[in-house]
């Protein structure tokens, strides 16, 4: 299989299936494309060969393309049923899907005001955003509520006991919380550190730090280095 992804520093959507596959030992070839937003960019042209949506990630398996992170996760869960990527119990599986779907469709304020940027340390921006943006505070409160409920019910260390698609899905939020130094509870902080401390996550972070690629449209708070 091939997994097409964008820059590891910025591409939160790419992180989800990459982390899921790497952590659970699903073999794949990584195809990393430099993010681009114009129709003539190499990114848009190469992605268009596989997905009419024009975005990453894209999973290619035996010539068949699966795009969208949730579709990729479901495909992998069916193909590798023995890896139990969703919780085994039906009710827990339904709840895990609900949390992923909520993350997939919502939390636009947090995404827009705190885009993933692993290389950057932006605590001043985080403090300003939290002070000025009530919708970001609301998003963060809801995420903390979801996490706390699941960690309390399942006893950790992950949202549904063992690592699952749900944990991969919230990994970019963990990166945002650290990068913007968002104020969160001790329970949330401990969960963030567990996710960011996973060997696969550390590998992604190391690759992101080694990119040294400043992309203007993904940098709302900084200017390109001279």
| Domain spans of the chain, in order of start | 2-83, 90-205
State both tokens at 7: 């820059």
Nearest Cα to Cα of residue 140 among 107, 178, 93: 107
- Classified as helix, coil or strand, 162 is strand
* pTM reported for the whole predicted model: 0.96
Eight-state DSSP code of residue 102: H
161: which residues sit within 8 A by CB, 6+ positions away?
87, 154, 155
CA 150 to chain centre: 19
Would you state the pLDDT for residue 170? Answer: 98
2 sits in which H/E element: strand 2-5
226 residues of the chain, pLDDT tens digit each: 999 999 999 999 999 999 999 999 999 999 999 999 998 899 999 999 999 999 999 999 999 999 999 999 999 999 999 999 999 999 999 999 999 999 999 999 999 999 999 999 999 999 999 999 999 999 999 999 999 999 999 998 999 999 999 999 999 999 999 999 999 999 999 999 999 999 999 999 999 999 999 999 999 999 998 7
- Residue 50 to residue 66: CA distance in whole angstroms: 9
Query: Which residue do the tokens 């268009």 mark?
Result: 48
Eight-state DSSP code of residue 225: P
Cα separations (Å) of 161 from 54, 87, 165?
A: 35, 9, 12
Nearest Cα to Cα of residue 92 among 164, 188, 169: 164
- Residue 136 to residue 112: CA distance in whole angstroms: 9
Would you state the pLDDT for residue 32? Answer: 97
Could you tell me the fold of the domain covering 2-83? Glutaredoxin (3.40.30)
Would you state the pLDDT for residue 80? Answer: 98
Contact status, residue 171 vs residue 201, Cβ threshold 8 Å: yes
CB atoms within 10 A of CB 201: 22
- Classified as helix, coil or strand, 74 is helix
What's 90-205's CATH class?
mainly alpha
Query: Which residue do the tokens 């969160």 mark?
Result: 184
Would you state the pLDDT for residue 225? Answer: 85
151: which residues sit within 8 A by CB, 6+ positions away?
159, 187, 191
- Classified as helix, coil or strand, 158 is strand
């Amino acid at each position: 299989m091939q997994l097409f992804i964008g820059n590891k520093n910025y591409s939160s959507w790419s992180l989800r299936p990459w982390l899921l596959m790497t952590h659970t030992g699903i073999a794949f070839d990584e195809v990393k494309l430099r993010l681009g937003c114009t129709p003539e960019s190499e990114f848009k042209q190469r992605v268009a060969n596989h997905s009419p949506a024009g975005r990453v990630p894209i999973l290619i398996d035996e010539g068949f393309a699966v795009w969208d992170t949730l579709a990729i996760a479901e495909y992998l869960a069916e193909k590798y049923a023995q890896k139990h990527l969703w919780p085994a119990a039906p009710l827990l599986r339904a709840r895990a899907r609900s949390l992923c779907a909520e993350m997939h469709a919502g939390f636009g304020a947090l995404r827009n005001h705190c885009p993933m940027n692993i290389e950057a340390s932006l605590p001043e921006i985080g403090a300003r955003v939290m002070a000025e943006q009530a919708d970001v505070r609301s998003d963060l409160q809801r995420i903390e509520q979801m996490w706390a409920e699941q960690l309390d019910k399942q006893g950790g260390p992950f949202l549904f006991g063992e690592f699952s698609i749900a944990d991969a899905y919230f990994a970019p939020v963990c990166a945002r919380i650290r990068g913007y130094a968002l104020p969160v509870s001790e329970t949330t902080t401990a969960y963030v550190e567990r996710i960011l401390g996973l060997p696969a996550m550390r590998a992604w972070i190391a690759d992101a730090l080694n990119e040294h690629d400043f992309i203007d449209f993904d940098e709302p708070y900084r200017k390109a280095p001279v």
